[in-house]
Chain A
Amino acid sequence: MERIYLDHAATSPMHPKVIEAVVNVMNSNFGNPSSIHSFGREARLLVDEARDILAKSIGAKRNEIIFTSGGTEADNLALIGIAEAYKSNGKHIISTEIEHHAVLNTCKELENRGYEVTYLPVDETGKVSVDDLKKNLRDDTILVSVMFGNNEVGTLQPIKEIGKVLAEHHAVFHTDAVQAYGLEKINVNEAGIDLLSVSAHKINGPKGIGFLYIRDGIKLLPRIFGGEQERKRRAGTENVASIVGFKEAVIISQQEMHARREKYREWKNVLIKKLQVEEIDFRINGSLENAMPHVINISFPGTNVEAMLVNMDLSGIAVSSGSACTAGSVDPSHVLVAMFGKDSARIRNSIRFSFGLNNTTEQIEKAALETAKIVKRMTNK
């Protein structure tokens, strides 16, 4: 049975060129970048080159990029690092109800430390309102964290508009771009973004590596202490091989962004058309217009998500109920709850499809057909 992987928002396979780059470094440039001999210097050069390319991909400068062990660490570092650095200006933070758990649970941690967090609601498409943000901004608001694109339903947030609002306010602006980076054009200056989190394994890079962009001049208290790596903001021997793999993945994703966007948009149509032809009852959670191209979340009335997932898996189709990071649980998605309320049936009958490397149009068609079969079976049609 051919397995069809449509869960690229959970994690994605490494691109063969990325693996090649990583292995090359492991074999030929294994030095510690802090060593003063040539092994160290070569490794340092590789890290700096990668930093340059990552920085350019979002219109930033090299010294504004901090390597981390992934998206979760980047989000933690951003939120706690800013909150602690700016607490003398106030202890109020604004975020949203639909953030990834790396942000939400860090906000909870900050609440335990005496910060006050306002979680902005979203509309039925999963989008926050800029007016809501304006209403909730206070003199003691020090940080606003709104994700770029939602990982479960794909909805894009009004990042530029938020950036504009915050240009007139002293609060620092963080966005979790883990899911959007690589498929959405991002320029931190145009969008007024002060901090931005990225993870490599969502864009066909290695797991265990990510970066945090932090605008020059913004203070950040480090979280992991030790050696003086990453300009004293993140200690620990740099993961050189993965950093180089990350760079490779960024180069590829930037080159192919346009083509991928077109392809994934088309696949959404293929999926929808097929379901329509099969006369399946379904609803798109979120919005087709204001969404990232690779994520589509669909509600199938009359089904239940657990049985759907098991049956799809048995048919060789890997999809998910929402974020993989809710570590194995099928609790109702907090994102869908925020969109539809806790009593809506949609929070228990929705499936996320996410496209990526190695998928083909045929796979999408087949997945749609299998999905239709399962839905029919479950709804006794």
Chain B
Amino acid sequence: MIYFDNSATTKPYEEVVDSFVKVSTEYFGNPSSLHNIGGKAEQLLTQARSQVARLLNVKDSEIYFTSGGTESNNLAIKGTALMYRGRGRHIISTTIEHPSVTEAINQLEQLGFEVTFVPVDSDGRVDAKEIEKAIRHDTILVSVMHINNEVGTIQPIKEIGTMLKEYPKILFHVDHVQGAGKVPINFYDCGIDLCTISGHKFHGLKGTGALFIRDGIRISPLLSGGNQELNTRSGTENVAGIVAMAKALRLTIQKRETGIHQMEVIKDILRDELEKIDGVKVHTPKEGSAPYILNFSVRGFRAEVFVHALEEQDIYVSTTSACSSKKKSPSKTLIAMGLPEEEANSAIRISLSFENTMEEAVYAADKIKQTIKQLGEVMN
């Protein structure tokens, strides 16, 4: 079995599951409880917060736990827009964001906010200068993803953040869900005010995530209740899941040190092999893309057909992002990059983890070749 769909979700590391079990069994208390059992749970929560903060090079007080990337993105965007609407009602984002950003912004539009979605070039990259051109006197928020989930293009976060330092009233949110642990960024250097991560994208558990909120920034909460997470996110903390996420982040960052080179090699092998195949077009740019995402089209085949054909070979890839793959619409990112709809409809995404091997890459490339040939024969 070759699992090449790690941008949709990852298999939790064994140690992560162990942590979850240990905390669930031995420290099941509610961190808000005043007694010893609650106190121990609170202690673990504090430690996990410190660990995540340390791994991301930020302060403990800047980490807020949520139920995942979608909630973090919603909280960041709506929470700041509602808090700072007195300053203005204009938001800037891009045409290639994850639906949890786009849809949150669309909701704000219905509440009277105005939005500029800045387009990307043919590599799927937004230009910091284009973002700057879109700035108005009433712009309050810029939200740009770090690594595009569909094609893997790395966005010029540092350039955008540096440019935005000239506009101190504009907040900068980065959806770091695909990058966390694998393509690190320094939040402070990049001038990031809010940053989203999701546990299950780096071998943590589903239902866990965090939002970095730079000290001094206030946001309007999405959930009201017991005032947990410094009044920013109510609800009993998922202590076991949070501890497991901290562990997953640490392990991913560790594995990166030794595994990043191999990952790049694997991606290169796949790219080279794919490019040799007649009718295949690789969409992920050669330069400036994440070492674990490879997006390509096979001319003449609908993506779903191809995904299922590979599945029969026990190779798991995806059409576009999992969150939109139920829809039959073509990849939003590829359309934004200027690709014709037919190509966007046949796009396949391979996404790697540090667990994938060179052998898997060679084997998969071979099977992809065979599958294209076989499908081609059936269709002709």
Q: Which of B206, B227, B240, B322 contacts A40 (CB 8 A)?
A: B322
CB B147 to nearest CB in A, in angstroms, measures 17
Q: CA separation between A236 and B74, bound complex, in Å?
A: 10
Q: CA separation between A37 and B226, bound complex, in Å?
A: 40
* Residues in B339-376 with C-beta less than 8 Å from chain A: none
What residues of B have a CB within 8 angstroms of the CB of A259 in the complex?
Answer: none
Residue of A nearest to B27 (CB): A13
* Residues in B21-79 with C-beta less than 8 Å from chain A: 21, 24-25, 28-30, 32-38, 66-71, 73-74
Determine if B183 is an interface residue (Cβ-Cβ < 8 Å).
no
CB A223 to nearest CB in B, in angstroms, measures 7
Q: Number of A-B pairs whose CB atoms are under 8 Å?
A: 266
Determine if A201 is an interface residue (Cβ-Cβ < 8 Å).
yes
Interface contact B322-A237, CB-CB below 8 Å = yes
Interface contact B5-A35, CB-CB below 8 Å = yes
* Residues in A220-260 with C-beta less than 8 Å from chain B: 223-229, 235-242
Q: CA separation between A294 and B160, bound complex, in Å?
A: 56
Q: Looking at the complex, which of B101-109, B162-170, B258-266, B292-300 is the stretch in contact with chain A? A: B101-109
Interface contact B236-A201, CB-CB below 8 Å = yes
Determine if B118 is an interface residue (Cβ-Cβ < 8 Å).
no
Interface contact B326-A34, CB-CB below 8 Å = yes
Q: Which of B8, B34, B100, B325 contacts A236 (CB 8 A)?
A: B100
Number of interface residues of B (CB under 8 A): 74
> Binary interface profile of B, 260-298, with partner A (CB < 8 Å = 1, else 0)?
000000000000000000000000000000000000000
Q: CA separation between A220 and B140, bound complex, in Å?
A: 29
Number of interface residues of A (CB under 8 A): 72
Q: CA separation between A66 and B181, bound complex, in Å?
A: 31
Interface contact A35-B8, CB-CB below 8 Å = yes
Determine if B99 is an interface residue (Cβ-Cβ < 8 Å).
yes
Residue of A nearest to B200 (CB): A237
Q: CA separation between A213 and B234, bound complex, in Å?
A: 20
Residue from A27, A37, A70, A321 having most chain B Cβ neighbours under 10 A = A37
Interface contact B71-A69, CB-CB below 8 Å = yes
Interface contact A236-B71, CB-CB below 8 Å = yes
Interface contact A7-B37, CB-CB below 8 Å = yes
Determine if B83 is an interface residue (Cβ-Cβ < 8 Å).
no
What residues of A have a CB within 8 angstroms of the CB of B5 in the complex?
Answer: 32, 35, 37, 39
Asked whether A10 and B206 contact (CB < 8 A) given A239-B67, A325-B225, A327-B228, the answer is: no
Q: Which of A11, A71, A319 contacts B28 (CB 8 A)?
A: A11
CB B75 to nearest CB in A, in angstroms, measures 9
CB B41 to nearest CB in A, in angstroms, measures 8
Q: Looking at the complex, which of A100-108, A140-148, A158-166, A268-276 is the stretch in contact with chain B? A: A100-108
Residue from A227, A228, A320 having most chain B Cβ neighbours under 10 A = A227
Interface contact B68-A12, CB-CB below 8 Å = no
Asked whether A239 and B206 contact (CB < 8 A) given A72-B235, A101-B225, the answer is: yes
Interface contact A318-B33, CB-CB below 8 Å = yes
Q: Which of A7, A76, A207 contacts B236 (CB 8 A)?
A: A207
Determine if B238 is an interface residue (Cβ-Cβ < 8 Å).
yes
Asked whether A11 and B236 contact (CB < 8 A) given A226-B70, A323-B226, A330-B34, the answer is: yes
CB B282 to nearest CB in A, in angstroms, measures 21
Mostly, the A contact residues are loop
Q: Looking at the complex, which of B127-135, B151-159, B303-311 is the stretch in contact with chain A? A: B303-311
Interface contact A328-B208, CB-CB below 8 Å = no
Determine if A97 is an interface residue (Cβ-Cβ < 8 Å).
no
Interface contact B324-A227, CB-CB below 8 Å = yes
Interface contact A14-B236, CB-CB below 8 Å = no
Determine if A23 is an interface residue (Cβ-Cβ < 8 Å).
yes
Asked whether A235 and B318 contact (CB < 8 A) given A102-B224, A208-B208, the answer is: no
CB B192 to nearest CB in A, in angstroms, measures 21
Asked whether A101 and B226 contact (CB < 8 A) given A209-B207, A319-B35, the answer is: yes
* Residues in A249-299 with C-beta less than 8 Å from chain B: none
Determine if A31 is an interface residue (Cβ-Cβ < 8 Å).
yes
Determine if A218 is an interface residue (Cβ-Cβ < 8 Å).
no
Q: CA separation between A101 and B17, bound complex, in Å?
A: 32
Asked whether A101 and B73 contact (CB < 8 A) given A224-B222, A325-B228, the answer is: no
Interface contact B239-A207, CB-CB below 8 Å = yes
Asked whether A30 and B11 contact (CB < 8 A) given A225-B104, A327-B227, the answer is: yes
* Residues in A49-86 with C-beta less than 8 Å from chain B: 69-73, 75-76
Residue of B nearest to A323 (CB): B226
Interface contact A73-B235, CB-CB below 8 Å = yes
What residues of A have a CB within 8 angstroms of the CB of B307 in the complex?
Answer: 36-37
Asked whether A320 and B33 contact (CB < 8 A) given A11-B236, A239-B207, the answer is: yes
Q: CA separation between A38 and B33, bound complex, in Å?
A: 42
Q: CA separation between A225 and B323, bound complex, in Å?
A: 12
Q: CA separation between A228 and B328, bound complex, in Å?
A: 12
Determine if B84 is an interface residue (Cβ-Cβ < 8 Å).
no
Interface contact A11-B323, CB-CB below 8 Å = no
Interface contact B9-A226, CB-CB below 8 Å = no
Closest 9 CB pairs of A and B: A325-B226, A227-B323, A226-B100, A208-B238, A239-B207, A69-B67, A225-B103, A236-B70, A72-B235
5 additional A-B pairs beyond A10-B30, A225-B100, A325-B236, beta carbons within 8 Å, are: A102-B235, A109-B224, A239-B68, A324-B236, A325-B32
6 contacts across the A-B interface (CB closer than 8 A): A7-B30, A12-B28, A106-B224, A207-B238, A227-B321, A313-B34
